[in-house]
Structure 1
Amino acid sequence: MRYEKGHKDATRKRIVEIASKQLRREGVGASGVAALMASAGLTHGGFYAHFSSKDALIQEALAEAIEQVSAWIGTVAATSDDKLEGVIRAYLSTHHRDNPENGCVAAALTPEIGRHSPAVRQLFTQSIEKHIDILASLLPASATPEARRSVATAIISGTIGMMQLARAVDDEELSERILNDGIAACLSLARAIKA
Structure 2
Amino acid sequence: MARYSPEHKEATRRRMIETAGRRFKSDGIDGSGIATLVADAGLTNGAFYGHFSSKDDLVAAVVAQQLEAQVAVVNSLPAGLASVEQYLQYYLSPAHRDDLAGGCPSAALLDEIGRCDVAVREAYTAGATAMIQAIARHLDNGDPDQTERRAIGLFSLLVGSLQAARAVTDPDLSDRMLAAAYANAVALATAPHPPVHPNRQEPE
Assess same fold via TM > 0.5.
yes
1:147 aligns with 2:146: yes
Deviation string 1:122-145 (CA, Å, 9 cap, x unpaired) is 111111111112212211514x21
Matches of 2:28 and 2:73 in 1, distance apart? 21
What runs of 5+ residues in structure 2 fail to find an aligned partner? Answer: 195-204
> In the alignment, residue 131 of structure 1 is paired with which amino acid?
M
Equivalences, count: 193
CA RMSD of aligned residues (A): 2.0
Matches of 2:131 and 2:151 in 1, distance apart? 9
Match of 1:51 in 2: 52
Deviation string 1:144-191 (CA, Å, 9 cap, x unpaired) is 211111121111111100000111112211111111110001111222
3-state SS, counterpart of residue 138 of structure 1: helix
Matches of 1:74 and 1:93 in 2, distance apart? 20
More helix by share: 1
Deviation string 1:4-44 (CA, Å, 9 cap, x unpaired) is 53433322221111111111222111111110011112222
Match of 1:23 in 2: 24
Q: Percent identity?
A: 38
**Stretches (4+) displaced over 6 A:** none
Match of 1:84 in 2: 84
Matches of 1:3 and 1:95 in 2, distance apart? 43
Output the TM-score relative to the length of structure 1. Answer: 0.90
1:189 aligns with 2:188: yes
Question: How many Å apart are 1:193 and its aligned residue?
Answer: 2.5
Matches of 2:84 and 2:179 in 1, distance apart? 16
Query: What aligned pairs does 1:20-169 form with structure 2 within 5 A after superposition?
Result: 20-75=21-76, 77-78=77-78, 82-142=82-142, 144-169=143-168
Matches of 1:112 and 1:66 in 2, distance apart? 15
Match of 2:202 in 1: none
What runs of 5+ residues in structure 1 fail to find an aligned partner? Answer: none
